[in-house]
Amino acid sequence: MADAERKPKLLHAAIGSLLARYVHFVGRTARQTADMTERYDAHAHHHPCIVTMWHGQFMLLPLVKQPGFETDVMLARHRDAEFMGAVLHHFGIKLIRGAGAASRSKDRGGAHAYRAAVQALREGRTVAMTADVPGGDARRAGLGVVMIARQTGRPILPMAIATSRYLSFNSWSRMTVNLPWSDLGFATGEVVRVPRSADDADLEMYRQAVEASLNAATALAYERANANPARATPSAVSTASTEPGLRLKAYRTLTSLARPVTPLLLRLRERHGKEDPARRMERMGRPSAPRPQGQLAWFHAASVGETNAILPLMTELSKERPTLSFLLTTGTVTSAKLAAERLGPRAVHQYAPLDAPEYVRSFLDHWRPDLAVFTESEIWPNLILESSTRNIPLALVNARMTKRSFRRWRRSLGVARPLFSRFSLVLTQNDLLTRRFKALGASGAFAAGNLKVDTPPPPIDMAELERLKPALQGRALLMAASTHEGEDAIVAEAHCQLRRTIPDLCTIIAPRHPERGRAISDMLRSKGLSVARRSLGALPDRTSDAYVADTIGELGMLYKLAPVAFIGGSLVDRGGQNPIEAVRQGAAVLTGPHWQNFSDAYDMLIRHQAAIVVRSAPELASAAGQLLADQTELSRMHSRASTALDALSGALPRTVEALLHHLPAEDGFARAS
C-alpha cells in the first residue's frame, strides 16, 4: 500500500518539476516592456491581501511572486490539482487544500480551506485563489472570496496575466496554456475592500465588484499582450458574434429550397397517421383560425408530454392576466387531440409550421405574438431567428438537454450561440442544465424546477375506467408503460417467470408508440400467451395473460388500475420516461438503469426508496412479485414517492412569475389593436 501511495506522489513531483521549468521557460522567452506589465511590488502596501484570478488563467501567475511576500495558494482536492501543487512547490508557495463546492453536493474541503485562508491572512501571509469555482458558472465570482475579505478585513487584489500565443482547451473555464516566445501582459484590477459590517445584500454587491474588477484586469492583460481573448473566454460569457454564421445560413437556404417537396412529405406522414390531412396548410404557415384581439402569448410544445406540462402554466397565467389570449402549437396528431379536449375558451390550437423561413414568416405575420414560449428542448432555428428579428420576447421553459445533445451543441458553438442567445429567459429543470445552457450562450438561464412535478394528473375517462374494472377484477396487475422496442420481450419474459407464483397475473403493456401494438401482440402470442388488444375494442377476460393498450392518452387510467408500473425507455438506452404521473395515480414505480432524461425525479425517488431499479427480466419479475405480494410495502412506497416529489415542487409559480415580467403591461399597446 505504501508503494502504491508513493508512486503517484513521485509521478506528481516529476511532472510538476517539468511544468515548473516550462513556466520559467515561457517567462524567460516572453517579451515584456514597462507599458505591458505592472510591478507586483507596487502593491506591497496591500500585503497581506487576497489575490484572485479566473480559473483557467493562472498558469503564469507564479512568475509575479516577489521575495519577501509569503503567499499561500488555495488548491482544490482532485487529481489534476496534485500536478499544480507540485508546480507551486517549486516556486516556494505553500498550499491550502480544499475549495468551494459550488452547486455540487460533494464536500470538497471548502470549510477547511476557508478557515485556513483566514488564519493565513491573520498571520501575515497573502492568499491566492480563483474567484470562480469548478461546478459553478465560469467567470462568475463566488461569495467565498468576499466572505474571507469581510472576516479578515484584508483587501482583494484581482490579477491577470496573458500571452499573445496560447492554447485553450474546451473545458468549463477555457483552461489556457501559455506558449513561449510570446508578448506578455500583466494587469491588476481595482482593489476591493469589504467592511466587516457588510450584510448579505452588501456581500452580493462586493461580489459583483470583484467580478467587474477581475474582468477589467483580464481584458487589460490581453490588450497589453497584443492577444485576442476570444479563444480563452468560456463559451458561457464569450463575446463572440451571435449573428448567424455560414452553417445557419446554409440551413436557412436548404429549408427554403426544400419547400417543393413539403406536400409529398406531408402526404407520406398522413398515410402513417402522423399528420392531419384536413389541417395540412397549417404546417405550411397558413393558419386556419383568426388571431384573437389583444395580447397573445404563443406556447410551442412538441407532443403530449410537453403539452401536459404547459397547460397548467397557461391556466395560471390566464388567472394573472384574464385578458390574455393563448396560441398553442404542437407537432403531433395526439397532442392536437389533447389540446382539443383541454384548451380553455381564450386559447386556440394550431399545428406548428415546418421550419422553413417562408412558412415561419407567414405564421408570424398572421399571429403577431407578444411573447413566444418554447418548451423543454424545442429548438427550431427559423422559428427562433424570425421571432427574434421581430423583437418578440423568447422564453424556453422546463428546459432540458441531455449530455449527448450538449456535447453536440458545444461542438457547434457557431450555431448554438446565435440561437440560445436569442432567448431572453431560459428556465431550466436544475442547476446542471442551467450551466449547460449558459455555456451555449443563454445568459438569461436559471433553474426553476420541473413543471411536470407540479402538473396535476390528466383527467381520466371514468366511464372507460368503470368498463375496464370488471374485466380485471380480482387479478394481480403489472403495468409496463411507455415501452420502447426491445423492452416488450423483456416484460414478456418477466411475466412468464411471475406466472409460476402468480397464476392469475395480467400484464398490461402500453407502448410509447401505439402503432407497435400489432407487433407486440404477435410477439406475445409467439410465447404462448393469450392477448387482448385495446385498439381493436377488445377487453381482457379471465384467460387473457396480457392486455396491449395501444391507444393514446389513457396512461393515467391504466396507472389507476395497476398497483405496480414499470416505466419504459429505461431497459434500453432511451433515457427513460416520466415517472411522475404513475406516482400521482398511486402506482409503485420500477425502472431500468437508463433514466437520465428525468434524473431529478428518479434521483429523488430512488434516494427515498420510492422507486426500484431493475436490469433484466429476472430482476423485474422479482421486484414486481415482492410488491404485488406485500400490500403494506406498496402503501409505504407510494407514501415515500409522494413525499419525494413534493420536495421537487414549486416550478409552476416560479415560471408564471418569470413569464409575467416578459409580457407587455396590460394597459400597453397590443399588437392586434
* Chain length of the chain: 673
Q: Is the peptide bond before 48 cis (omega within 30 degrees of 0)?
A: yes
> Are the C-beta atoms of 119 and 154 separated by less than 8 Å?
no
Cell of 597: 432524461
270 is catalytic: no
Q: Are residues 554 and 488 in the same domain?
A: yes
Q: Which helix (H) or strand (E) holds 71?
A: strand 71-75
Instruction: Indicate if 57 and 91 belong to the same structural domain.
Output: yes
- Region for 28 from its dihedrals, namely left if φ exceeds 0, alpha if ψ lies in -120 to 50, beta otherwise: alpha
Please give the DSSP secondary-structure letter assigned to residue 427. E
Q: If you average pLDDT over residues 16-42, what whole number do you get?
A: 81
Residue 207 lies in a domain: yes
Residue 262 lies in a domain: no
- E runs forming strands in 119-246: 126-130, 156-163, 166-168, 176-178, 184-188
Identify the band that residue 3 occupies on the pLDDT scale cut at 50, 70 and 90.
very low
The three cell numbers locating residue 412: 457547434
Q: 224 and 323 share a domain?
A: no
User: What is the band of 406 on the pLDDT scale with cuts at 50, 70, 90?
Assistant: confident
- Residue 99: the pLDDT is 58
Mean pLDDT of the region 343-355? 93
Task: Give the chain's domain count.
Answer: 3
Q: Are residues 425 and 347 in the same domain?
A: yes
Same domain, 64 and 203: yes
Q: Is the pLDDT of residue 303 over 90?
A: no
389 and 523 co-located in one domain: no
For residues 173-201, one letter each, b for 16 or more C-beta atoms within 10 angstroms of the residue's C-beta and e for the rest, the string is: bbbbbbeeebbbbbbbbeebebeeebeee
pLDDT score recorded for residue 2: 37
For residue 145, name the pLDDT band (cuts at 50, 70, 90). very high
The confidence score (pLDDT) of residue 656 equals: 93
| Together in a domain, 227 and 83 | yes
Q: How far is CA 164 from CA 34, 158, 544, in A?
A: 16, 20, 75
Q: Are residues 152 and 196 in the same domain?
A: yes
Assess if residue 186 is contained within a domain: yes
Does a structural domain hold residue 74?
yes
User: How far is 141 from 55, CA to CA, in rounded Å?
Assistant: 10
3-state secondary structure of 241: coil
Query: Does some domain include residue 242?
Result: no
Share of the chain above pLDDT 70, in %: 90
Measure the CA–CA gap between 28 and 400, rounded to whole angstroms: 48
Note the pLDDT tens digit of each residue in 474-515.
899 999 999 999 999 999 999 999 999 999 999 999 999 899
- HEC profile of 635-661: HHHHHHHHHHHHCCCCHHHHHHHHHHC
Average pLDDT, the chain: 87
Report the C-alpha dihedral over residues 357, 362, 368, 371, rounded to 10 degrees: -30
Rounded mean pLDDT, 157-167:
93
Render pLDDT for 173-208 as a digit per residue (tens, 0 to 9): 888 999 999 999 999 988 999 998 888 778 888 888
> Which segment of 331-345, 603-617, 633-647 scores lowest on mean pLDDT?
331-345
Q: Exposure of 240 by Cβ count < 10 A (0-12 exposed, 13-18 middle, 19+ buried)?
A: middle
| DSSP 8-state secondary structure symbol assigned to residue 200 | H
Q: Which residue has the higher pLDDT, 218 or 64?
A: 218
Count Cβ neighbours within 10 Å for each residue of 471-506 and write b for 16 or more, e otherwise.
Answer: bbeeebbbbbbbbbeebbbbbbbbbbbbbeebeebb
Domain that holds residue 481: 462-649
Q: What share of the chain is helix, strand, coil (3-state, %, to 5)?
A: 45, 15, 40
Cell output for 354? 415546418
**Domain assignment present for 553:** yes
What CATH number has the domain bearing residue 369? Answer: 3.40.50.11720
Tell me, yes or no, whether 590 and 498 share the same domain.
Answer: yes
Neighbours of 531 (CB within 10 A): 21
* CB-based burial label for 268 (10 Å; 0-12, 13-18, 19+): exposed
Facing residues of 366 across strands? none
Residue 293: pLDDT above 90? yes
State the Cα–Cα distance between residues 499 and 625, nearest whole angstrom.
10
Own/partner pairs, 623-626, CB within 8 angstroms, 24+ separation: 623/590, 624/478, 624/494, 624/498, 624/564, 624/566, 624/590, 625/498, 625/501, 625/502
When pLDDT is averaged across residues 618-646 and rounded to a whole number, the result is: 93
CATH code for position 491? 3.40.50.2000
What are residue 397's DSSP bridge partners?
375
Residue 447 has pLDDT above 70, yes or no: yes
Q: 371 pairs with which residues across the strands?
A: 297
- The answer to whether position 285 is within a domain reads yes
Which of 19-28, 319-328, 360-369 is predicted least confidently? Answer: 19-28
Asked if residue 426 and residue 471 are part of one domain, the reply reads no
Q: Is residue 469 part of a domain?
A: yes
What local confidence, expressed as pLDDT, does residue 253 receive?
A: 94
Would you say residue 615 has pLDDT above 60? yes
**Residue 337 pLDDT > 90, yes or no?**
no
C-beta separation of 94 from 71 below 8 A: yes
184-188 and 156-163 strand pairing: antiparallel
Q: In terms of domains, do 154 and 303 share one?
A: no
Q: Is the dihedral of CA 597, 598, 599, 605 positive or negative?
A: negative
Based on the number of CB atoms within 10 Å of its own CB, is 670 exposed (0-12), middle (13-18) or buried (19 or more)?
Answer: middle
Cell of 90: 517549486
Residue 629: the pLDDT is 93
Burial of 519 (0-12, 13-18, 19+ CB in 10 A): middle
Banded pLDDT at 138 (limits 50, 70, 90): confident
CATH number reported for the structural domain that contains residue 205 in this entry: 3.40.1130
Q: Give the number of other Cβ atoms within 10 Å of residue 312's Cβ.
A: 17
Predicted pLDDT of residue 396: 96
User: Do 222 and 323 share a structural domain?
Assistant: no
Q: How many CB atoms lie within 10 A of CB 331?
A: 20
What's the pLDDT band for 57 if we cut at 50, 70, 90? confident
Q: Which of 192, 213, 237 is the last residue of a domain?
A: 237
Question: Which is catalytic among the residues 38, 306, 386, 581?
Answer: 306
